[in-house]
């Protein structure tokens, strides 16, 4: 097991899936709520410990708690919202007196298109990856580089990434607060993938609370992931693990809401192998949200972890990653992107194209 792991291809399945979804583990993100493909549970708002919930006071020197704010996205039909994401990660594996270090650098240009908007502010959006530039280095060897702008030049390990560039496979129906209401796959393959992943990583937006929230208050949501219990690559025995995301409204200044977040497994795992699989699901970071325009301006996250005996006695696994995603307002940047794809042929669902069996 350890030998095969140390000699695995430069690009892991985790790396491939994170690029396909455009968010890596940073946006888990931005990831989906714990739901089926039809409806998601409302986000729960939690008050910060120690904060008074009594708005009335008889002491004239004590000011009342600031009024809350309603955080909402302002979707507009035909709107294109572009982002550029830069990420770096490093993974170190040590076992049987062998050490392997794999590092990756990636830049992803992507956007989402607002297909339709309902009267209540909910909308259907279509995420698309426009370009991916990657460099993966194994130990001190020569890096393997890939740029999707160079057609037909993808190494074998990057073929699945190349197939996704500029080709939408999914539409997502969002509530105005960013909660996923429905997934609308545009082809049979994406439908199968959604059934397999159960929306975990499909949400690239923050799901805000249903009600107003004040500075200092927090809210949270959960999502489920599958981990391998026996370590097999084919038909592994799986276990479901619940991951929690907590958000806190830190500050509002010049119309920008600053939000801190943390992602972590809810249960304490004893099995080192499972702890190794969860190493990318412990993260913290910050988000800047433009309240007036209703868009995320910047998203930063970092994660690091160390697990002993994940691959047997005397083994060690260490991971470090950083990701920054920025809103790209430049019209010239948008012009460089490929044109929007034509509307998929075939019968539409109640509102939009999708798989009728959803």
CATH assignment at residue 247: 2.30.230
Strands 98-117 and 123-138: antiparallel
HSE-CB at 2 with a 13 A cutoff on CA atoms is: 18
Cβ-based burial of 56 (10 A; exposed 0-12, middle 13-18, buried ≥19) = exposed
In a domain, residue 54? The reply is no
C-alpha 93/C-alpha 99 separation (Å) is 6
What SS3 state is found at 88?
strand
Distances (CA, A) of 97 to 94, 282, 305, 317: 7, 28, 21, 13
Residues written for the chain = 358
CB 5: neighbour CB atoms within 10 A?
Answer: 19
- The pLDDT value recorded for residue 201 is 53
Residue 232: CB partners within 8 Å, gap ≥ 6? none
Domain of residue 163 covers 2-48+70-101+109-335
Dig out the tokens for 44 from the structure: 């729960």
Pairing type for strands 170-174 and 218-228 reads unpaired
Kindly report the CA angle at 139 between 138 and 143, in degrees rounded to 5? 45
- Return phi, psi of residue 152, to 5°: 75, 10
Q: Residue 29: which of 43, 17, 40, 38 has the closest Cα?
A: 17
Instruction: Calculate the CA dihedral of residues 53, 59, 61, 66 and round it to 10 degrees.
Output: 20
Instruction: Answer whether 303's CB lies under 8 Å from 283's CB.
Output: yes
Q: Identify whether 152 is part of a domain.
A: yes
For the chain, percent helix, then strand, then coil, each to nearest 5? 15, 40, 45
- What is the pLDDT at residue 228? 83
Residue 295 lies in a domain: yes
Task: Tell me if 294 is assigned to some domain.
Answer: yes
What is the number of domains present in the chain? Answer: 1
Residue 41 lies in a domain: yes
Beta carbons within 8 Å of 253's beta carbon, 6+ residues apart? none
301-214-125 Cα angle (round to 5) = 55
Judge whether 55 lies within some domain. no
How far apart are alpha carbons 334 and 82 in whole angstroms?
7
> What does the pLDDT read at residue 268?
86
Per the domain annotation, does 30 fall within a domain? yes
pLDDT values of the chain reduced to their tens digit, one per residue, 358 residues: 443 343 333 333 333 334 333 443 344 434 334 333 333 333 444 444 434 334 344 444 444 445 789 999 999 999 999 999 999 999 999 988 889 999 999 999 999 999 999 999 999 999 999 999 999 999 878 888 899 998 877 777 778 888 889 988 899 999 999 999 988 888 766 655 665 454 545 678 999 999 999 999 999 988 888 888 876 667 778 888 999 999 999 999 999 999 999 999 998 888 888 898 899 889 999 999 999 999 999 999 999 999 999 888 889 999 999 999 999 986 554 444 444 444 444 333 334 443 333 3
Residue 65 lies in a domain: no
């Amino acid at each position: 097991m350890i030998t095969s792991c140390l000699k695995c291809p430069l690009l892991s399945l985790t790396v491939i899936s994170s690029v396909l979804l455009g968010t890596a583990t940073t946006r888990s993100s931005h990831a989906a709520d714990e739901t089926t493909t039809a409806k998601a549970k409302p986000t729960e708002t939690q008050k910060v410990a120690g904060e008074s919930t009594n708005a009335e006071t008889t002491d004239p020197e004590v000011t009342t708690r600031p009024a809350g704010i309603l955080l909402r996205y302002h979707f507009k039909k035909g709107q294109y919202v572009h982002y550029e994401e830069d990420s770096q990660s490093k993974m170190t594996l040590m076992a049987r007196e062998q050490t392997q270090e794999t590092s990756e650098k990636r830049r992803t240009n992507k956007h989402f298109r607002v297909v339709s908007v309902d009267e209540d502010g909910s909308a259907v959006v279509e995420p698309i990856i426009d370009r991916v530039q990657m460099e993966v280095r194994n130990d001190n060897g020569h890096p393997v580089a890939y740029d999707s702008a160079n057609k037909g030049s993808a190494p074998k390990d990057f073929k699945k990434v190349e197939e996704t560039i500029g080709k939408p496979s999914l539409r997502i129906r969002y509530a105005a607060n960013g909660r996923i209401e429905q997934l609308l796959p545009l082809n049979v393959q994406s439908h199968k993938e959604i059934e397999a992943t159960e929306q975990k990583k499909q949400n690239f937006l923050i799901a805000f609370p249903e009600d107003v929230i004040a500075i200092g208050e927090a809210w949270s949501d959960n999502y489920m992931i599958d981990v391998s219990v026996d370590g097999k690559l084919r038909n592994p025995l799986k276990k479901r693990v619940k991951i929690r995301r907590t958000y806190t409204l830190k500050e509002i200044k010049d119309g920008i809401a600053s939000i801190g977040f943390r992602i972590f497994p809810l249960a304490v795992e004893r099995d080192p192998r499972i702890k190794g699989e969860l190493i990318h699901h412990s993260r913290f970071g910050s988000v800047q949200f433009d309240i007036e325009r209703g868009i995320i301006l910047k998203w930063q996250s970092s994660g690091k972890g160390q697990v002993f005996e994940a691959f047997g006695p005397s083994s060690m696994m260490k991971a470090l990653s950083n990701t920054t995603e920025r809103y790209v307002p430049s019209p010239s940047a948008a012009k460089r992107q490929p044109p929007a794809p034509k509307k998929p042929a075939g019968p539409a669902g109640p509102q939009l194209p999708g798989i009728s069996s959803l």
